[in-house]
Structure 1
Amino acid sequence: MRTRITTAGILAALALTLTACSSEEEPTVDNKPSKISAEDKAKAREAAGLPPEPDEAARKAFLDALNAIDPRIIKPGKEDQAVSRGLNQCSSIKDSDDREKLARLALGRFTIDTRLPELNTPETGQKIVDAVHKHLCPDF
């Protein structure tokens, strides 16, 4: 009797072997992965060139500044997204002194270039960059 070995058979056997040998458990409802500490998050943010999370006052001041530029910049119910995009803009501010480039990046990052073409101007971009810099990363 001849035994025929197929690629599919080899892959199935390999998959079973690897699954059986795995030392890591898959996360389940009962087996939640450990949470990342605040200190580790802060270190990761710093390594990525991002400032720390803003406190409530800085967050409110930033959102108010965006609303003063134009209330449509922040999508309804997406304040966290706007803050996240602002923090990402901080990494660009940290890495570049080119104000025109920073303005273009801000317009794209806040999707103004695609959502709000009437606001897609260098002036609007500069205002956003100024708001980000002032409220989220003044040390950059």
Structure 2
Amino acid sequence: MRTHHTAAVLLAAAAIALTGCSSEPKPDAMPISSPSPAAPASTSSVDRDAARAAAGLPPEPKGAQRKAFLDGLNAIDKDIVHGKDDKAISRGIDTCGLVKNFPGDLTKQVEQTEKRWTSPTHPDGHGQVKAAQILAVSQAAICPTF
């Protein structure tokens, strides 16, 4: 008798669970992926720069500074940027963080730069020599005071 009761309870629980999984959306349910009305559409560059400053990182380079950085990387090897300018800028700012976090430890800075700067054709980095050059370009163009 007890097993019949347990089986009935389990079947009832399964039926309830399956009923809640209907494929038709409820009319009053909001899609999970939609942002709330109060959520900002995107973070402004001012907000990002303020967050970077709070973390001790330089602001995003603009204009001539940005161009000099990207040109410097492309002069080393066009595959470093590989058409992803914004990604390269982000990595350059991160590289400045390495300089700040490992002051005077060039070996560590180059090692971490090589790990950070990968591309589809160089998934393990571009080698120690190019990593040192990337580090130098990043520091000169984005964070010369670090």
Task: Report what 1:23 is aligned to.
Answer: none
Task: Report what 2:65 is aligned to.
Answer: 58
Task: Report what 2:132 is aligned to.
Answer: 126
Bigger CA radius of gyration: 2
Assess if the C-alpha contact under 8 Å between 1:27 and 1:33 holds in 2. no
Name the SS of the counterpart of 2:90 in structure 1.
helix
After alignment, is 35-44 or 82-91 more displaced?
A: 35-44
Aligned partner letter, 2:54: A
Q: CA RMSD in A?
A: 3.8
Higher relative contact order (CA 8 A, sep 6+): 1
The 1-side partners of 2:125 and 2:96 are apart by 25
The normalised TM-score by structure 2 is 0.66
Confirm whether residue 46 of structure 1 aligns to residue 62 of structure 2.
Answer: no
The 2-side partners of 1:127 and 1:111 are apart by 14
Name the SS of the counterpart of 1:53 in structure 2.
coil
Number of corresponding residues = 129
Pair 1:38–1:109, CA change in 2 (3 A) = closer
The normalised TM-score by structure 1 is 0.69
Q: Unpaired segments of 5 or more residues in structure 2?
A: 1-12, 17-32
Pair 1:119–1:110, CA change in 2 (3 A) = closer
Pair 1:37–1:67, CA change in 2 (3 A) = closer
Q: Unpaired segments of 5 or more residues in structure 1?
A: 1-5, 10-25
Q: Percent identity?
A: 38
Of 63, 88, 92 in structure 2, the residue corresponding to residue 82 of structure 1 is 88
The 2-side partners of 1:139 and 1:82 are apart by 20
